Amino acid sequence: MDDAAAAARAELARAARHLIRYSGAGDFAPFVAERAAGSYVYDAAGRAVLDFTSGQMSSILGHSHPAIVEVVRDMVGRLDHLFSGMLSRPVIDLAEALGSLAPGLERVLLLTTGAESNEAALRMARLVTGGWEVVGFSQSWHGMTGAAASATYSAGRRGYGPAAVGSMAIPAPNAYRPRFTSTGGELDWQRELDDGFDLIDRQTSGGLAAFIAEPILSSGGVIDLPPGYLPALLRRCRERDMLLVLDEAQTGIGRTGQMFAHERDAMTPDVLTLSKTLGAGLPLAAVLTTPEIEERAYERGFLFYTTHVSDPLPAAVGLAVLDVLARERLAERAVRAGERLRRGLQELQQRHECIGDVRGRGLLLGVEIVADRASRKPAPETGAAIGRRCFELGLSMNIVQLPAMGGVFRIAPPLTVTDAELDLGLDMLDRAITDVTSASRPG
């Protein structure tokens, strides 16, 4: 083990010499992955780390799922990449399959990343509406390129110069830290939404094109939009002739217990973007919209021509993902596993004063760490320490830290996670919180 530890340190030293650090806060995890399978990632020494983030919130089938391995092996030897104007059967098949899963959104564009799909969606919205102003949530994350970065407010705005002209934001409704409350002290999201659109109406110069939103703001602290919010948001967009773009990079393809998170509210957006979960860890994204919007965009010369648009290999992967999801009934599994995980987290909340809130849907849950439940005072340092201790114990957890909010753990294990793995993760989190909070107590 000493030799393995020395080898790992040598690899990390090489990384420090040659890699650009891109996370914006801190160095890479003290771990060099050698392989991954199911819910675990392993280093060269065989150390197993339980992956409660599904890679980058993407590997909903776990790592190295046999069906994905099989299709990649087949396609890379048969049909991997084509000229962007050329079609293949996997592309047509996946477009048809996605359109059938999202009634009303039958026109599909297949791309690679979430940022790219959001770029295409916002470019289409600007062309179709003739506007240029884009509104998002002040805790949002939509990507790190151009228009997507301009609509991202949770991080990464300082020091890069001005955002795109017409970028605006309103706060998302946070039931744990409400800005507007009813007489009973509960979140009054209707009044907050009205206030947000009053601000938009005062700021617009008459060029509103789109509102882009996540049904659950994951990087924003796992803020689940309340039931009824999305239909109300769509109505306000309709009143202003702007399109509603829903970014379901993390919430789509079964993670919340439904194929798409917006289905809970029985509404259909104008444009839906998918990524992350659609490729189950491989680079695949999609834009879905209505025939009417696509026709109007086509008539106006819509252009989004990229090197890997409509590539056959990732399209075949997407088809395999949808097949496995249906065959193994993984959306239903997300409901059952999510309930088990939530109960376990709520039990930890009863024992640990630093757990202020447990929230989310299905297998996308958030745990907010605070100084104490009474004050709800943010405690980002405590959250960071718990995250480090979790990793030492063999549990990979991701924590987001935002102003006026405690550190929030985003917990998103694969939909294939077992009950035993959930219980093991809860046990390691329990131990990590106990170790950190015990060490911080005086005496």
pLDDT on residue 443: 53
Let me know if 377 is a catalytic residue.
no
DSSP H or E run through 317: helix 312-327
The pLDDT value recorded for residue 241 is: 98
Out of 43, 51, 188, 214, pick the active-site residue: 214
CATH number for the domain spanning 303: value is 3.40.640.10
Tokens of 123: 């470019």
- If one counts the domains in the chain, the total is 2
- The answer on 353 and 318 residing in a single domain is no
Question: How far is C-alpha 222 from the geometric centre of its chain's CA atoms?
Answer: 9
| pTM summary value | 0.96
Residue 257 and residue 338 in contact, taking contact as beta carbons nearer than 8 Å: yes
Residue 29 pLDDT? 85
The per-residue pLDDT for 442 is 60
Residues 409 and 305 in one domain: no
Which of the listed residues 301, 327, 353 is the one where a domain comes to its end? 327
pLDDT at site 9: 87
Catalytic residue among 141, 258, 311, 342: 141
Query: Among 327, 355, 383, which residue terminates a domain?
Result: 327
Task: Tell whether 245 and 300 lie within a shared domain.
Answer: yes
Residue of 177, 255, 276, 333 marked catalytic? 276
**Residue whose tokens read 């109406």:** 201
Considering 293, 327, 361, which residue would you say is the last residue of a domain? 327
Three-state SS at 190: helix
User: Strand order in 355-361's β-sheet?
Assistant: 355-361, 364-369, 408-411, 398-400
Tell whether 321 and 340 lie within a shared domain: no
Q: How many angstroms separate the Cα of 255 from the Cα of each of 84, 103, 139, 141, 396?
A: 31, 19, 21, 18, 18
Structure tokens at 203: 């700021």
Catalytic, 350? Answer no
Is 214 among the residues known to form the active site?
A: yes
| Structural domain boundaries, residue 358 | 2-64+329-440
The answer to whether residue 247 is catalytic is yes
Point out the catalytic residue in the list 119, 247, 265, 368: 247
The DSSP code for 131 is: -
Closest CA to 247 of 215, 206, 218: 215
8 A C-beta contact, residue 61 and residue 72: no
pLDDT in tens, 278-319: 999 999 999 999 999 999 999 999 999 999 999 999 999 999
| Catalytic residue flag (residue 141) | yes
pLDDT value of position 8: 84
Residues in the chain with pLDDT values less than 50: none
Residue 192 vs residues 187, 198, 360: alpha-carbon distances, Å: 9, 10, 20
Residue 27 and residue 100 in one domain: no
